């Protein structure tokens, strides 16, 4: 199956903040269909490099075919892995400090429309929702539902989904799973619908979207992966290198905000924008998925723990 092209979010703003130059080296930690990577390869031509990472093996295989010339020329290195292994990936590839790292978090059009792994409820599909179902340590969304005790399930729906009926939905799910495992998108959608007060049931798809998002974040342990990856990305930058993160969830953005603030306070980085950058109305009209995007960017000044000249003089 051809992977549908995912429209890159905030492309101009990403390029503005990474400021790619000929010969420079970039990491695209969430390469997907290569929307941002294609632009980085163009801007860093003829010698520049991009190391593209994705946790989804199908996407890495499809992109290897599509950009075979760049791969063969050694300008595009593609790796199937989680970005939480960033340091190891760069060390194995013998890549030294890089000029920029990009994270464009979350899921893509491919996952929603083509993967068949139950990321959306528009079709009846197995409830898997893993970016990397082959990872032996991973847990599918249906396993999360089968094995999570009530209080934790409420917490997942509440925190990751920001769902006001979290508790009612979790109780229905638990009651139903006793009789029959919830293993399809339709079974989960029906549990969500049945949990809602009758007067709001007509708009159950909004609640379902939040519950699906929550389970995806839990199944992929998305917040923990980001928390592990950010310091590695910062470490990988040369002084003057840039880190750009696009997030789609308030908990993700909060984590990025706190990490960036910490670097600023340590004097190891400067923020390139005080407030997160959001897409224009025009971009959201063309690409509604961009709606919740927030971009933050920093420039590294020095490695943490390195003494500055100013401190030497004191
Ligand atoms: C929003 S898409 C990126 C789109 C890409 N920037 C473009 O415009 O073509 C996010 C990608 O991140 C991948 N992903 C999610 N979690 C990941 C992780 N922990 N490590 C590596 N890739 C991950 C997903 O598989 C997905 O392909």
For ligand 1, say whether the CB of 247 is within 6 Å of any of its atoms: no
CA atoms within 13 A of residue 7's CA, in its CB half-sphere: 14
What is the rounded CA–CA span in Å between residue 264 and residue 301? Answer: 9
Q: Is residue 4 predicted with pLDDT exceeding 60?
A: no
For ligand 1, say whether the CB of 82 is within 6 Å of any of its atoms: yes
What is the rounded CA–CA span in Å between residue 143 and residue 120? Answer: 17
If one residue of 30, 61, 88, 107 were mutated to test the ligand 1 pocket, choosing by the most ligand atoms within 8 A of its CB, it would be 30
Confidence of residue 156 (pLDDT cuts 50, 70, 90): very high
Indicate the range of 1-5, 65-69, 88-92, 130-134 predicted with least confidence: 1-5
Q: What percent of the chain has pLDDT over 90?
A: 90
User: 158 and 217 in contact (C-beta within 8 Å)?
Assistant: no
Range 218-247 average pLDDT: 98
Indicate the range of 33-42, 131-140, 228-237 predicted with least confidence: 131-140
Neighbour-count burial for 239-256, b at 16+ CB within 10 Å, e otherwise: eebbbbbbbbbeebbebb
User: 263 and 243 in contact (C-beta within 8 Å)?
Assistant: no
Please state the φ and ψ torsions of residue 258, each to the nearest 5 degrees.
-65, -40
Indicate the SS3 state at residue 135.
Answer: coil
**Distance from Cα 55 to the centre of ligand 1, integer Å:** 7
Among protein residues, the one with the nearest Cα to ligand 1's atom 11 is 30
**Distance from Cα 86 to the centre of ligand 1, integer Å:** 14
Range 47-63 average pLDDT: 97
For ligand 1, say whether the CB of 33 is within 6 Å of any of its atoms: yes
Q: Hey, what are 176's tokens?
A: 């139903």
Range 291-295 average pLDDT: 96
If one residue of 7, 13, 54, 102 were mutated to test the ligand 1 pocket, choosing by the most ligand atoms within 8 A of its CB, it would be 54
> Over the stretch 196-210, which tens digit does the pLDDT of each residue have?
999 999 999 999 999
For ligand 1, say whether the CB of 120 is within 6 Å of any of its atoms: no
For ligand 1, say whether the CB of 299 is within 6 Å of any of its atoms: no
Higher pLDDT, 76 or 3: 76
Range 219-228 average pLDDT: 97
Neighbour-count burial for 213-222, b at 16+ CB within 10 Å, e otherwise: bbbbbbbbbb
pLDDT value for 215: 98
For ligand 1, say whether the CB of 32 is within 6 Å of any of its atoms: yes
What is the rounded CA–CA span in Å between residue 139 and residue 203? Answer: 29
Q: What is the mean pLDDT of the chain?
A: 95
pTM over 0.75: yes
Confidence of residue 313 (pLDDT cuts 50, 70, 90): confident
> Over the stretch 71-130, which tens digit does the pLDDT of each residue have?
999 999 999 999 999 999 999 999 999 999 999 999 898 899 889 999 999 999 999 999
Counting from 1 in the atom list of ligand 1, the atom nearest the Cα of 110 is 27
For ligand 1, say whether the CB of 59 is within 6 Å of any of its atoms: yes
pLDDT value for 306: 74
Report DSSP state, residue 275: S
For ligand 1, say whether the CB of 83 is within 6 Å of any of its atoms: yes
For ligand 1, say whether the CB of 58 is within 6 Å of any of its atoms: no
Q: Is residue 1 predicted with pLDDT exceeding 50?
A: no
For ligand 1, say whether the CB of 3 is within 6 Å of any of its atoms: no
């Amino acid at each position: 199956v051809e992977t549908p092209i995912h429209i890159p979010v905030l492309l101009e703003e990403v390029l503005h903040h990474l400021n790619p130059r000929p010969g420079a080296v970039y990491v695209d930690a969430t390469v997907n269909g290569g929307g941002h990577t294609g632009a980085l390869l163009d801007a860093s031509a003829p010698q520049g490099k991009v190391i593209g990472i994705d946790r989804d093996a199908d996407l890495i295989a499809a992109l290897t075919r599509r950009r075979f010339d760049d791969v063969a020329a050694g300008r595009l290195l593609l790796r199937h892995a989680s970005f939480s292994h960033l340091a190891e990936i760069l060390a194995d590839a013998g890549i030294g400090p890089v000029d920029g790292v990009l994270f464009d978090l979350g899921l893509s059009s491919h996952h929603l429309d083509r993967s068949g792994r139950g990321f959306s409820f528009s079709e009846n599909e197995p409830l898997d929702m893993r970016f990397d179902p082959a990872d032996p340590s991973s847990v599918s969304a249906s396993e999360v539902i089968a094995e999570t005790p009530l209080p934790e399930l409420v917490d997942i729906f509440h925190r990751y989904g920001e769902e006001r009926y979290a508790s009612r939905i979790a109780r229905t799910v638990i009651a139903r799973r006793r009789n029959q495992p919830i293993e399809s998108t339709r079974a989960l959608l029906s549990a969500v619908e049945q949990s809602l007060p009758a007067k709001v049931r007509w708009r159950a798809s909004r609640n379902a979207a939040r519950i699906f998002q929550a389970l995806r974040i839990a199944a992929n342990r998305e917040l923990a992966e980001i928390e592990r990856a950010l310091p590695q990305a910062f470490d990988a930058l040369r002084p003057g290198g840039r880190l750009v993160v696009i997030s789609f969830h308030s908990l993700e953005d909060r984590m990025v905000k706190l990490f960036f603030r910490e670097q600023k306070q340590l004097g190891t980085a400067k923020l390139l924008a005080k407030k997160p950058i959001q897409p224009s109305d025009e971009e959201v009209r063309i690409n509604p998925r961009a709606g919740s995007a927030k971009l933050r960017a920093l420039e590294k000044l020095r490695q943490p723990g390195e003494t500055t000249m100013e401190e030497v003089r004191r």
